[in-house]
Structure 1
Amino acid sequence: MGDTSHLIDVQPVPGGDISQAFEVRTENNHCFIKINRNAVPDFFQKEAYGLQQLRQAGALSVPQVYHVSPSSADHGYIVMEWVPTEPAADSETKLGRGLARLHQYTHTYYGLAENNYIGKLPQPNGWEKSWIRFLSEQRLGFQTKLADEQGMLPAKRKARLEKLLDRLGQWVPDERRPVLLHGDLWSGNWLAGPRGTPYLIDPAVFYGQREFELAFTELFGGFSPRFYAAYQEVQPLSEHYEDVRPLYQLYYLLVHLNLFGETYGPAVDRILRHYVG
């Protein structure tokens, strides 16, 4: 960032479970800084890359990144613009419309030019023409492997997951065009900035099917009917959505199983029973 002006104030910002966050004021700037002493070397570089992808799409605002620590550092940090929160009555309406426009930013293949992270877990993104294959190998299959390595897959759960992966084509459409996804859009990963303008933060971007994103927004709640109504004004949900919603939510439940443990096991099992008995 190159700011050598006098430091005025530093205040901790609560809410993160991976990194420490601070609001920093200098004579010349007002910044948001995240620090993680246990981060893998490229953790914040991938966050900055994801924000750049979202910014290029031009559908929703994202904070400007001023500086990212070099990958050789023994701790990681990222410096971004400070976005003051000013929620407005139409913030979620703007978010819904903006997300629908983001989902019109297309690519030829599923995936991304770089791997990244979902939370603190690795998220592979190798380019793939088939959505079913991408979903099977780089989303559900990869998280299944991590869960198995951590001893989170009892025999019945593992058998059901294997059966589901073999039969994905029964429920998942493969003909839709890849669109840019935030990738980790829960209610804590956006904020209402000046004049209620929605900003996206903490992405895990990739090109996928848009219903994958919408399904996660419904998993833990936090989005009002205004958000979904505004989304559908721009881009109605597909006829397949109700059929695939629990299956797409399964990916995020496996992520939470791997991050936080067996608390999420029963929800995983419930979805597996729904599809494969």
Structure 2
Amino acid sequence: MAGFRKGDHGDPQSVRYEAAGLRWLGAAGGAAVVEVVDEGPGWLETRRVAQARPDARAAEELGRALARTHAAGAPYHGCPPPDWHGDGFMGRAALPLRGSAPASWGEFYATDRILPYLAAAVGNGAIDDDGARTVRRCAERVAAGDHDAAQPAMVGDVARLHGDLWSGNVLWAEDDGTAVGTLIDPAAHGGHAESDLAQLGVFGAPYLDRIVAAYDEVSSLADGWRERVGLHQLHILIVHAALFGGTYGDQTVATAARYT
């Protein structure tokens, strides 16, 4: 089967970052990751995936496997994949990455995952001035540590994240008659494991409840994780508000308001 070849998102570095993330996630020995076949200036070739229809059993296996990926860990919040220097990419958006550890997860999440996208979302009209104040108040509380929480049981201080784990970035690959959840298009970095799990719910992953339940069985989630889902979705929402405008701005503000 021929490979799948893709171009960059307007910056040739984006596919290099993607390839680095795929290799880092694959090295974790957890969730299946699409194989990098080759790469060059501005392009990336991966193994083509024959897709299958997922079922509850496949979803549960993805949950268990994702727990192992997260448990492989990362040096610090906001770290890049090995040998990557500078910022990364989340689709067409820049993704701030750090050269050293932040003071806390909250400081990292507020400074690098919420606030960098606010100006663009205001500029395109998705978020008005009142909404921007709400987002900033939320970011202040996050930075202060008001919403910090423990990682799942198998994870140390920092999880190894896919980083852009909406449902479209999980392909269900056919393997001897079964479906295997396979990760593609990462924005890989070190962070909080709840972020990947929350992102799966933004656009509705199939059998999401079974994915999370199986994850929780092998790597128990910290108390109150359900109440933090919106907080961990805030990054992907504000990125969409910055890139695409429209109702993503309203969703961002409404979500931020819950954590002010």
Residues 1:107 and 1:77: Cα distance change in structure 2 (over 3 Å): closer
**Residue 172 of structure 1 pairs with residue 147 of structure 2:** yes
TM-score, L = length of structure 2: 0.85
* Deviation per residue, 1:144-196 (Å, 9 max, x gap): 23324545431101111121122223642166511101111111111222232
**Residue 39 of structure 1 pairs with residue 10 of structure 2:** yes
**Residue 199 of structure 1 pairs with residue 182 of structure 2:** yes
Structure with max Cα Rg:
1
State the partner residue of 1:132: 106
Conserved 8 A contact 2:38-2:45: yes
Aligned-residue RMSD, C-alpha: 2.0
* Greater relative contact order, per chain length (Cα 8 Å cut-off, separation 6+): 2
Match among 57, 76, 87 for residue 109 of structure 1:
76
CA distance, structure 2, for counterparts of residue 265 and residue 238 of structure 1: 29
- For residues 1-277 of structure 1, the aligned pairs below 5 Å read 30-36=2-8, 39-70=10-41, 76-87=42-53, 89=55, 90-113=57-80, 114=84, 115-126=87-98, 127-129=100-102, 130-168=104-142, 169=144, 171-173=146-148, 176=151, 177-193=157-173, 194-195=175-176, 196-224=179-207, 225-276=209-260
Equivalenced residues, count: 242
Conserved 8 A contact 1:171-1:244: no
CA distance, structure 2, for counterparts of residue 192 and residue 162 of structure 1: 38
Conserved 8 A contact 1:178-1:207: yes
CA distance, structure 1, for counterparts of residue 24 and residue 170 of structure 2: 16
Conserved 8 A contact 2:127-2:253: no
Conserved 8 A contact 2:107-2:145: no
CA distance, structure 2, for counterparts of residue 135 and residue 241 of structure 1: 16
State the partner residue of 2:154: none
Instruction: Name stretches of at least 5 consecutive residues in structure 1 with no aligned partner.
Output: 1-28, 71-75
* Deviation per residue, 1:65-91 (Å, 9 max, x gap): 122222xxxxx3211112212345322
Superposed displacement of residue 240, structure 1: 3.2
Conserved 8 A contact 2:38-2:46: yes
Instruction: Name stretches of at least 5 consecutive residues in structure 2 with no aligned partner.
Output: 152-156
Paired amino acid for 1:59: G
